[in-house]
Amino acid sequence: DVKVTQSSRYLVKRTGEKVFLECVQDMDHENMFWYRQDPGLGLRLIYFSYDVKMKEKGDIPEGYSVSREKKERFSLILESASTNQTSMYLCASSSPRGKLFFGSGTQLSVL
Amino acid sequence: GESVGLHLPTLSVQEGDNSIINCAYSNSASDYFIWYKQESGKGPQFIIDIRSNMDKRQGQRVTVLLNKTVKHLSLQIAATQPGDSAVYFCAEIPALNKFYFGSGTKLNVKP
């Protein structure tokens, strides 16, 4: 089975802090994604990466950056956390046939 | 952008009954669709997928039906159990690594 692992289930941070969300997948997938999920807004794509060191902006990249130094790991960075970044963050990876698999999510609260 | 919608935001069913969750999609060129189940506080879990060259696909207790004529997708759950209580949402994939998600239907299973 595909496993997408997010390092934290819950995080509480203060406004202005730099926040790192880590994600690891074990299926050698080329493509990895970061989404945020908010009530009433569904899943929105922040960034995706189609290869090591390659990235593309999604629909809502403002306030975020990403890092993909190794194929299995995709990190989301909040350079200076703000309260409107309080959300559930979901990492995903996709198989060559396009099947998308999600991690269990990180619920981030920014105070 | 693409539009993937759901007809009913909340569905309540009696344990043992069959459940049907519906989804409308907008892009007639979409050739791949996925249904996900998301339990409270967890990441979305892949349930079943279907490609546009099929109109029906069955899994364990679940069936997905695709009607390309009216751009409609449905998920049928047989003999619904309390463990099926969750939010279900569909994803439309018009191109590789382009995923568009519905906002979800909450399924409540009454004992």
* pLDDT tens, position by position, A64-103: 999 999 999 999 999 999 999 999 999 999 988 888 999 9
Report residue B29's pLDDT band, with 50, 70 and 90 as the boundaries: confident
Least confident of A67-76, B19-28, B54-63, B95-104: B95-104
Instruction: Give the pLDDT of residue B7.
Output: 43
CB contacts of A24 in chain B (<8 Å) are none
> Choosing among B53, B101, B106, which should be mutated to test the A contact, i.e. which has the most A CBs within 10 A?
B101
A99·B49 Cβ contact <8 A: yes
Contact residues for B1 (Cβ-Cβ < 8 A; gap 6+): A59, B100
CB contacts of B42 in chain A (<8 Å) are 104-105
Instruction: Give the pLDDT of residue A87.
Output: 96
Please tell me which residue of chain B has the smallest CA distance to A91. Answer: B43
pLDDT in tens, B37-62: 999 888 999 999 999 999 999 999 99
A98·B96 Cβ contact <8 A: yes
Report residue A41's pLDDT band, with 50, 70 and 90 as the boundaries: confident
Residue B14 scores a pLDDT above 90: yes
Please tell me which residue of chain B has the smallest CA distance to A39. Answer: B103
Instruction: Give the pLDDT of residue B20.
Output: 96
Q: Residue A30 has what DSSP assignment?
A: S
A43·B34 Cβ contact <8 A: no
Nearest to B11 by CA among B78, B79, B106, B80: B106
B44·A102 Cβ contact <8 A: yes
| Amino acid in position B101 | F
Nearest to B38 by CA among A88, A33, A70, A63: A88
CB contacts of A4 in chain B (<8 Å) are 43
Query: What does the DSSP assignment read for A4-65?
Result: EEES-SEEEE-TT--EEE-EEESS--SEEEEEEEETTTEEEEEEEEEETTEEEE-S--TTEE
The nearest CA of chain A is from the CA of B50 a distance in Å of 10
Instruction: Give the pLDDT of residue B4.
Output: 52
